[in-house]
Amino acid sequence: MKKIEAIIKPFKLDDVREALSEVGIAGMTVSEVKGFGRQKGHTELYRGAEYMVDFLPKVKLEIVVPDEQVERCIDAIMETAQTGKIGDGKIFVTTVERVIRIRTGEENEDAV
């Protein structure tokens, strides 16, 4: 099993969720996060004063899937989250050793 973590622009969340649903993903965890990379933030005006916004709002998706679904998930995220502009985000894929459903005690793929 693999854990896919995707950092995307907030306005792309509904499109990505729908695309993942179409490839068979039934659940995910979504967090509102802030960060920066090459985008380096931007300046905003507040009451006539300009100030720097270092951390930009993003959305983090976390999905645990069987190995055979990884590429379909990545493709779905890439196709829907990509705008072609700086700040589109990143996808991280890591190995998951064990998953346990607390309610039933089911493990691994049965628990996902």
Higher local confidence (pLDDT), 37 or 26: 26
* Residues 52-86 pLDDT 10s: 667 788 999 999 999 999 999 999 999 999 998 88
What does the domain layout of the chain look like in residue ranges? 2-110
Q: Over 90: is that where the pLDDT of 14 sits?
A: yes
CATH number of 2-110: 3.30.70.120
Burial of 58-97, coded b for 16+ CB within 10 Å and e otherwise, reads bbbbebbbeeebbebbbebbeebbeeeeebebeeeeeeee
**pLDDT recorded at residue 96:** 96
Higher local confidence (pLDDT), 26 or 2: 2
**pLDDT recorded at residue 112:** 80
pTM value is: 0.84
**pLDDT recorded at residue 44:** 60
Computed over every residue of the chain, the mean pLDDT equals 89
